[in-house]
Amino acid sequence: MTARPPKKSETLEVRLPFETKTAFMARCQRDGRTASDAVRGFIERELSPVRRTRVRGWQAVAAAVVGLAIGAVAAPSLAQTAAHPSFAQLDRNDDGVLSPAEYADR
């Protein structure tokens, strides 16, 4: 004989706008489940320690990807700044014009 699941004796009252409730009930009906099953499933997933670990792992992976993307964008611009001097660095006599000699000395 299989063990029976615990009896569902507790209730939870949730207040929502009518439109939200209507949309939720329609979604549950399309999915072929009751609103109670959907809410119970949500609560069980939130309480599961496995899910919380996965979310933290996913967040760490997402942060690493974002960091790599920012680094990939920043590195070439930083290298370009070092390889190409600014106008102020080239204009040694501060006259606002680059002479051929100033340009050649770069």
pLDDT in tens, 19-57: 999 999 999 999 999 999 999 999 888 888 775 555 567
Give the separation between CA 53 and CA 13, rounded to whole angstroms: 29
Give the separation between CA 58 and CA 50, rounded to whole angstroms: 12
Domain range list for the chain: 14-47, 51-106
**Residue 92 near residue 102, CB atoms below 8 Å:** yes
Supply the pTM of this predicted model.
Answer: 0.44
Q: Which amino acid is at 99?
A: S
* Span 48-92, pLDDT tens digits: 877 555 556 777 777 777 777 777 767 666 655 555 677 777 778
